Amino acid sequence: MAFEFPKDKYNGKIVEVTIGAGDKARTVGGETAMPLCNFEGEFPNRPLVAMEVYDKAEVCETWAPACKEPFADVMGDAVAWAKKCVEEFGAEAICLQLASTDPNGMNTPAEEAAELAKKVAEAIPVPLIVWGCENDEKDAETLAKVAEVCAGMNLVIGPAKEGNYKKIGGAAIGYDHVVVQQTPIDVNMAKQLNILLNNLGVPMTKILMDPQMGALGYGIEYCYTVMERDRLTGLKQGDEKMQSPLILDVGKYTWKTKEASVSVDEEPAWGEAKVRGVLWETVSAVDVLAAGADILILRHPDSVRILKKIIDELMA
């Protein structure tokens, strides 16, 4: 008698969300089963591996040397940096981090940030994700301006939170973009923010969820379980408000940990700093990939190379 895998049954489907326009368009989501359970359902779209690009080099001064080295020749030019990530390192999307807009830092004006976003979007052949400084008030101003200047490009803009979702969501509706909604590792809060965005007029086909994460050694287990509950709620319970694809900013959370960034001189027993950091980022990324991430934002080119190979093998 031939062996058959026992198969679970699901009542929902992750919404397909298209980011980018024209030849740059890519679609994520569409899963009908839990992550890695390819034998139980359909997985029509592979997860995307995006790379970080920062708007100004000054905000990267505290980066680990291993992260600065691959971009040393382009860190003062976001457009060149983005093109290098795509052309040399195989990034499938670019995440432009507008960190310099932080009012507690360089406080770059919204208009300047928006013009930079447009230049980057026009220069690359892949979708652009535009990430604010995570100050609610300034992000509402900046991302609304980005949406206006880049009208029709179908960018991903965010993060939209409870304190600023109306202005960011309204701009996304008005200028045809996708919204990243962000909540602090909580299923109920994620669902509530999706409901609020829906009530505002943002369709589920224009929403990505960022459940936030902790890196390896810094709460990755809790993050994993919350992401798993997000997926179970959408797929097993068929809750339409929890069927958004998931986006995770892995690089930002992993490279700020001591284990990923401290030098070998400070901790000689920990081994070579670059190898350690890349492994810290890669393992964190694989964890959230297994929990259901549809878009992963990474920092180091070696992590990108390894993760793309893993995704190729999983999708095969």
At residue 28, the pLDDT reads: 98
At residue 200, the pLDDT reads: 98
64 lies in some domain = yes
At residue 175, the pLDDT reads: 98
249 lies in some domain = yes
125 lies in some domain = yes
Give the pLDDT band (50/70/90) at residue 6. confident
CA gap 254, 299 in Å, rounded:
9
Give the pLDDT band (50/70/90) at residue 249. very high
231 lies in some domain = yes
At residue 286, the pLDDT reads: 97
At residue 91, the pLDDT reads: 98
260 lies in some domain = yes
Distance of CA 243 to the CA centre of its chain: 16
State both tokens at 176. 């045809």
DSSP string over 110-161: HHHHHHHHHHHHHH-SS-EEEE--S-HHHHHHHHHHHHHHTTTS--EEEEE-
122 lies in some domain = yes
Q: How many domains does the chain have?
A: 1
CA gap 147, 156 in Å, rounded:
9
| CATH classification at residue 268 | 3.20.20.20
pLDDT in tens, 115-167: 999 999 999 999 999 999 999 999 999 999 999 999 999 999 999 999 999 99
Q: Give the global pTM.
A: 0.96
Domain range for 178 is: 20-315
1 lies in some domain = no
In three-state form (DSSP H/G/I as H, E/B as E, the rest C), the secondary structure along 207-249 is: EEEECCCCCCCCCHHHHHHHHHHHHHHHHCCCCHHHCCCEEEE
120 lies in some domain = yes
pLDDT in tens, 34-82: 999 998 999 999 999 999 999 999 999 999 999 999 999 999 899 999 9
If you average pLDDT over every residue of the chain, what do you get? 96
Give the pLDDT band (50/70/90) at residue 301. very high
At residue 316, the pLDDT reads: 83
